[in-house]
Amino acid sequence: MDTLINEPINQIIFTVLDVETTGLKTYLGHRMCEIGLLKFCGTKKSKSYSSLVNPERSIPEDVIEVHGITDEMVKNAPVFESIADEVLEFIKGTVLIAHNAEFDLGFIVKHLHRAKKPIPDNFVVDTLTIAKKHFHFPGNSLKTIAECLGIGTEGGHRALKDITTTKEVFQYFVKQLRVKTLGELLDLQGGSIAFPEIEEVTPPPVIAKAMKIGGRVVIKYTDTKGNKTERIVTPIEVDKHHNTEFLIAFCHLRNEQRVFRMDRIKGIKIVVQSNRAK
């Protein structure tokens, strides 16, 4: 990728990236429910890729109100693992663009890690970072910036529309900043946006066993208010954020996916050797 640094900006192949998700935090079990990619180079015809993604969990109502993607829409969509190779092939050798790239990259990395796929080494340009550093909009959301520039935003918060909008914002920035090479663009940004690192978490043996066999466990849990409950859950994964570990599991009491802080679980025992049905 380093060979691209001195290439003229109009000869670089860019891929705009956007994901829609079930929530904002991967460590709380939120997942991708749509991905959109738009590849372009200079004034040549662009090429797009988009797919709904089955997040294998329900989408909260307040999130549906934002992007309009429902459980019904994704129930027959592919899981990310089945399209991971297509995504990697599409972005191979290109420079990625996203608005608030840290968010999109976080979900991409988490899903690739879950699919046991390599993490890319693409350069990444973030239109949000550039907007904050070099422009003075009344707000820095993609919608606000686009409206200030007279770029249509109808249909926003769906991946295909957002990548089209992001491309137009990016092209405006490049023109206004008189960028000639990729290296100049990355210097203006302060360097390429890094893909986040995945911190491996070793679950307790009983949870690791349950995840391996699809079994259920009984947990004794104390919530933030001190209320103590006993739950039967099917562990999905264990994640970590700021030195706090979280168990993401299907809770059979609430009949939905829930997140439990590991330090609030006071007892665990396996109760079912196979998960026949949720």
DSSP string, 169-213: HHHHHHHHHT--BHHHHHHHHTSPPPPPPPPP----HHHHHHHHH
d(CA 83, CA 171): 29
Pairing label, strands 216-222, 265-272 = antiparallel
Q: Which residues are catalytic?
A: 157
List alpha helices for the chain, DSSP H: 61-67, 71-74, 80-91, 101-114, 127-134, 142-148, 159-177, 182-189, 205-213
101 in helix, strand or coil?
helix
For residue 92, count other CB atoms closer than 10 A to its CB. 11
d(CA 28, CA 246): 7
d(CA 97, CA 84): 18
d(CA 41, CA 249): 43
Closest CA to 236 of 94, 88, 31: 31
DSSP class of residue 137 equals: -
d(CA 215, CA 25): 25
